[in-house]
C-alpha cells in the first residue's frame, strides 16, 4: 500500500521539475513523497542539503529565519527573515534571489499531507525595498518641513533684527559723514543742534539692539504683573519646571486658575505650590476666594486647559477644599508650544 | 481718552508703537505685554478700551486665539490685530473671531493711529487683501482658497489621504490641487513649494 501510494509517474515528476517554483509534498512525519528540482536547489542554498525530511527542513528554515532576525537583518527582505511563527518565511539567497517559502497542511479523505512551496519574489522584494526607501525619504523630508515650521517665526525675528542693525549702521555712518563735513567746512557751530539730534537718535537706536537679544523678561514676571493689574497676588513656592514646554503648561494652568479665582470667587491671592518626584512635577493651585461648595462645572477654559495638558501627558484634577483647587501632574519633558498650535 | 493694551513681543516694535501712541492726546498706553495669553487677564479690570494685538507673540502664543477668547468674555473691548507676516489666513481668522480692525506693520499705507481712530469711531477697518507674495513663478493671489488650504495641510506634513479627510475631498482632488499648485509655481516637488510658502510666511500653521 505504501509503495503504491508513493509511486509518481515519470511524466508528473518531469512536469513538477519544470515548474519555476519549488514544491515539496511529504507525510506528516516528514517523509518526502515528491520534491521537485527547484525546491531541492533552494533548500541546498539555504541549508546546505536537499530535502531529506520536510518537517526537519521547515524547523531548520525557521531557525535560520530567527537567527537572521536576531542578527538584525533588515526585514522583510535582507538576509534570513520571515513572518515569525506564521507558516510563511522569506529568505534572500546567496545568488541574489529572494524567495518566499510557505508550509500548508493538506487533507485528502482521511490522509494528511504537508506541502511546502517556494516562490521567487525577487521582483516584489525589489519594489518593496524601493517603496521603503521612498517612505524613508518622505519621512526625512517631512521632518525637515516640521523643523522649518518650528523655526520660521524665530528666523523672521532674526531677519527683522538684522535689518534694524543695518539701519542703525547706516544712521551712524550718516552722522559721522555729516559731522566730518561740518568740521571740514567750519559749520560745526551752526549745525550743532541738528548734528546732536542725529547722534542722539542713532545712539538711542543702537542701545535698543543688545536688549533685543537679551532674554525677555520672564513669563512668570509678566504673569505676576498682569495678576497685579486685577488686584491679585500670585505666590509661587517650590522649584520651577526646568523645561520650557513644562513651564508653559504650568503657566497656562495658573492663568486659567487666576481668571476663575478672580472672576468667580473674588480671590486676591493665588498660591502655586510646586513639588517633584521621579515621574514629574506635582502642582497645587489654590486661592483665598469664596467659591460656592459643590460640584465644579468645567467651562470652556478648563476644558481647553485639560485638553492641552492631556496632549502632553499631563494630568489635571479639580477638587474643592474650602475653595477650588487644581491638582496637576506635569511630565518633565513636555514639548508644548503655544496655545495657538491648534488654530 | 482710550486706554490701550499693547501685546507685542518685539522690543523694537513695542517702542516704535509706544512712541506713536504717545504722540496722540486721545490714547494712553496703559500696559505693554509680550504674551497674548496674558492679555485677557490684563483686561479684566475694565480699564482697557483698545487692544493692539500681535499675532505671533512670546512663547508661541497666538494673538488670534487670545483675541477670540477676549471677544467672547469681554466683547466691549476693541481689538486691532497687527502683524508683519503676510500669512493669508490671518485676515480671515481675525474677522472670524470678531476683531474690529487689522493693521499690517510693514505693508500698505495705513497709519496705525488712523486705524485706531476709525476703529474707536465704530468703523471696521480691514485691508482689502493680504499682501501679494511671490511663490516660485506665481503670486499668492493666483492661488484659490482650496489650493491654499491644501498647501497649509502639506506644510503640516499631512499625507494625501489625511488631507482628503481633513478637507472632505477625495485623494484624487487633493492630487489635482497639488498638480495645479506645482504648475502655477513651476516647482517640481511639494517640498520646494512648501519650503518657499513657509519661508515667505504665506503659511504659518502654528497660529
Tell me the residues of chain B between 109 and 148 that have a Cβ less than 8 Å away from chain A: none
The pLDDT assigned to A253 comes to 94
Choosing from A157, A188, A213, the residue where a domain stops is A213
Neighbours of A109 (CB within 10 A): 5
Task: Indicate whether A136 belongs to any domain.
Answer: no
The verdict on a CB contact (< 8 Å) between B45 and A142 is: no
What is the maximum alpha-carbon separation in chain A?
Answer: 130
The A-side interface with B (CB below 8 A) comprises 141-142, 144-146, 148-149, 152-153, 156-157, 160-161, 164, 208, 211-212, 216-217, 219, 222-223, 225-227, 229-231, 244, 248, 251-252, 255, 258-259, 262-263, 300-301, 337-341, 343
CB-based contact A152 B40, cutoff 8 Å: no
Q: In chain A, how many H helices and how many E strands?
A: 9, 11
Strands B134-135 and A233-237: unpaired
Contact across the interface for B60 and A341, Cβ inside 8 Å: yes
How many domains are there within chain A?
Answer: 3
pLDDT digits (tens, 9 = 90+) for B62-95: 999 999 999 999 999 999 999 888 888 888 899 9
DSSP state of B130: P
**Contact at CB, A148 and B10, closer than 8 angstroms:** no
State the CATH number of the domain containing residue A312: 3.30.565.10
Tell me how far apart the alpha carbons of residues A102 and A33 are, in angstroms, rounded to a whole number: 17
User: Residue A58 in 3-state DSSP?
Assistant: helix
**Contacting residues for A118 by C-beta, under 8 A, at least 6 apart:** A21, A22, A23, A38, A39, A42, A99, A100, A101, A102
Inter-chain CB proximity B41 and A149 less than 8 Å = no
> What residues of chain B lie within 8 A of the CB of A343, using their CB?
62, 64-65, 93, 206-207
Contact B195 A263 (CB under 8 A): no
CB proximity list for A155: less than 8 A, separation 6 or greater? none
Question: In chain B, which residues fall in CATH 3.40.50.2300?
Answer: 2-120
Residue A231: beta bridge partners?
A: none
Tell me whether residue A128 is in a domain.
no
Q: Is B84 on the interface with A (CB under 8 A)?
A: yes
Residues B27, B4: contact at Cβ < 8 Å?
A: yes
Interstrand relation of A88-92 and A80-82 (parallel, antiparallel or unpaired): antiparallel
Cβ–Cβ pairs < 8 A, chains A and B = 123
> Which residue in chain B is spatially nearest to A139 when comparing CA positions?
B157
Do A207 and A253 sit in the same domain of this protein?
no
Q: How would residue A80 be classed by pLDDT, with cut points 50, 70 and 90?
A: very low
Give tens-digit pLDDT for A159-190: 666 776 777 777 788 888 888 888 888 888 88
A230 chain-B contacts, CB cut-off 8 A: 41-42, 44-45
Residue A10's domain comprises 2-120
CATH 3.40.50.880 fits B134-199, yes or no: no
Indicate whether A135 belongs to any domain. Answer: no
> What is the pTM (predicted TM-score) of this model?
0.58
CATH of B2-120, one of 3.90.79.10, 1.25.40.10, 3.10.20.440, 3.40.50.2300: 3.40.50.2300
Q: What is the distance between the alpha carbons of residues A258 and A285, in angstroms, rounded to a whole number? A: 9
Query: Could you report the per-residue pLDDT of B142-194, keeping only the tens digit for each?
Result: 899 899 999 989 988 888 999 999 999 999 999 999 999 999 999 988 888 99
What is residue A213's predicted lDDT score, i.e. its pLDDT?
39
Residue A137 inside a domain? The answer is no
* Dist CA B33 CA A212 (whole Å): 15
- HSE of A192, CA atoms in CB hemisphere, 13 A: 4
Q: What interface predicted TM-score (ipTM) does this complex get? A: 0.76
Q: Among A183, A213, A243, where does a domain finish?
A: A213
Whether residues B157 and A219 touch (CB distance < 8 A) is answered with no
Amino acid at each position: 500500500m505504501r509503495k503504491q501510494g508513493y509511486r509518481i509517474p515519470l511524466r508528473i515528476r518531469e512536469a513538477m521539475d519544470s515548474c519555476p517554483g519549488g514544491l515539496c509534498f511529504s507525510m506528516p512525519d516528514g517523509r518526502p513523497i515528491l520534491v521537485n528540482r527547484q525546491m531541492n536547489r533552494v533548500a541546498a542554498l539555504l541549508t546546505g542539503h536537499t530535502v531529506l525530511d520536510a518537517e526537519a527542513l521547515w524547523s531548520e528554515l525557521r531557525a535560520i529565519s530567527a537567527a537572521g532576525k536576531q542578527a538584525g537583518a533588515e526585514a522583510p527582505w535582507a538576509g534570513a527573515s520571515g513572518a515569525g511563527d506564521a507558516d510563511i518565511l522569506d529568505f534572500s539567497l546567496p545568488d541574489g534571489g529572494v524567495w518566499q517559502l510557505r508550509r500548508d497542511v493538506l487533507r485528502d479523505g482521511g490522509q494528511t499531507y504537508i506541502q511546502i512551496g517556494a516562490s521567487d519574489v525577487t521582483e516584489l522584494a525589489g519594489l518593496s525595498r524601493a517603496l521603503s526607501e521612498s517612505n524613508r525619504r518622505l519621512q526625512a523630508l517631512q521632518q525637515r518641513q516640521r523643523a522649518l515650521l518650528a523655526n520660521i517665526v524665530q528666523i523672521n525675528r532674526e531677519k527683522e533684527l538684522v535689518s534694524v542693525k543695518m539701519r542703525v549702521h547706516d544712521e551712524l555712518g550718516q552722522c559721522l559723514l555729516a559731522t566730518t563735513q561740518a568740521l571740514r567746512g567750519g559749520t560745526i557751530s551752526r549745525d550743532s543742534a541738528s548734528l546732536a539730534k542725529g547722534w542722539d537718535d542713532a545712539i538711542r537706536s543702537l542701545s535698543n539692539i543688545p536688549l533685543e537679544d537679551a532674554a525677555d523678561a520672564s513669563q512668570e514676571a509678566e504673569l505676576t504683573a498682569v495678576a497685579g493689574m486685577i488686584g491679585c497676588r500670585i505666590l509661587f513656592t517650590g522649584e520651577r519646571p526646568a523645561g520650557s514646554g513644562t513651564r508653559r503648561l504650568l503657566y497656562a494652568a495658573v492663568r486659567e486658575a487666576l481668571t476663575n479665582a478672580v472672576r468667580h470667587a473674588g480671590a486676591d491671592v493665588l498660591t502655586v505650590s510646586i513639588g517633584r518626584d521621579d515621574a514629574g512635577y506635582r502642582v497645587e493651585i489654590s486661592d483665598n476666594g469664596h467659591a460656592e461648595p459643590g460640584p465644579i462645572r468645567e467651562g470652556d477654559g478648563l476644558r481647553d486647559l485639560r485638553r492641552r495638558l492631556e496632549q502632553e501627558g499631563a494630568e489635571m484634577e479639580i477638587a474643592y477644599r474650602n475653595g477650588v483647587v487644581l491638582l496637576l501632574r506635569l511630565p518633565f519633558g513636555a514639548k508644548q508650544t503655544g496655545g495657538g498650535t491648534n488654530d | 481718552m482710550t486706554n490701550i493694551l499693547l501685546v507685542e513681543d518685539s522690543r523694537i516694535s513695542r517702542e516704535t508703537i509706544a512712541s506713536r501712541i504717545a504722540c496722540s492726546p486721545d490714547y494712553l498706553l496703559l500696559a505693554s505685554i509680550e504674551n497674548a495669553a496674558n492679555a485677557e487677564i490684563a483686561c479684566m479690570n475694565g480699564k482697557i478700551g483698545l487692544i493692539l494685538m500681535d499675532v505671533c507673540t512670546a512663547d508661541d502664543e497666538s494673538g488670534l486665539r487670545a483675541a477670540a477668547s477676549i471677544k467672547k468674555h469681554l466683547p466691549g473691548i476693541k481689538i486691532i490685530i497687527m502683524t508683519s507676516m503676510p500669512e493669508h489666513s490671518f485676515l480671515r481668522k481675525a474677522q472670524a473671531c470678531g476683531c474690529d480692525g487689522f493693521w499690517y506693520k510693514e505693508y500698505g499705507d495705513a497709519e496705525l493711529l488712523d486705524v485706531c481712530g476709525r476703529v474707536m469711531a465704530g468703523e471696521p477697518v480691514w485691508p482689502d487683501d493680504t499682501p501679494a507674495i511671490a511663490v516660485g513663478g506665481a503670486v499668492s493671489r493666483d492661488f484659490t482658497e482650496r489650493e491654499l488650504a491644501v498647501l497649509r495641510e502639506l506644510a503640516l506634513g499631512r499625507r494625501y489621504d489625511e488631507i482628503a479627510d481633513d478637507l472632505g475631498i477625495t485623494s484624487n482632488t487633493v492630487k489635482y490641487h497639488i498638480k495645479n499648485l506645482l504648475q502655477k509655481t513651476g516647482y517640481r516637488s511639494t517640498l520646494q513649494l512648501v519650503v518657499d510658502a513657509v519661508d515667505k510666511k504665506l503659511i504659518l500653521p502654528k497660529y
